[in-house]
């Protein structure tokens, strides 16, 4: 069994808080940028791809 402290972590692009790897992100870990749906929906307009 792995300890949570041993899992990889990143900083959220929206709030700046650290978040840890989750099993549901196993295939997409390189593309994960936000810690939650709330942060993903609150991302800056420039990141949404609006012209």
How would you class 35 by CB atoms within 10 Å of its CB: exposed for 0-12, middle for 13-18, buried for 19 or more?
buried
Q: Is there a domain that residue 51 lies in? A: no
Dist. CA 18–CA 13, nearest whole Å:
10
How much is the pTM?
Answer: 0.69
Q: Which pLDDT does position 38 carry in this prediction?
A: 93
Q: Is there a domain that residue 11 lies in? A: yes
Q: Is there a domain that residue 49 lies in? A: no
Q: Is there a domain that residue 50 lies in? A: no
Question: What tens digit of pLDDT does each residue of 1-51 get?
Answer: 778 778 889 999 999 999 999 999 989 999 999 999 999 998 665 555 555
- DSSP 3-state percent helix, strand, coil across the chain (nearest 5): 30, 10, 60
Q: What is the DSSP letter of 5?
A: G
Q: Which pLDDT does position 4 carry in this prediction?
A: 75
Q: Is there a domain that residue 48 lies in? A: no
Q: How many domains does the chain have?
A: 1
Task: Determine the structural domain holding residue 28 and report its residue range.
Answer: 4-43
């Amino acid at each position: 069994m792995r300890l949570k402290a041993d899992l990889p972590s990143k900083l959220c692009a929206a709030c700046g808080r650290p978040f840890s790897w989750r099993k549901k992100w196993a295939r997409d870990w390189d593309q994960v940028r936000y810690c939650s749906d709330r942060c993903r929906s609150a991302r800056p307009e420039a990141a949404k791809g609006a012209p």
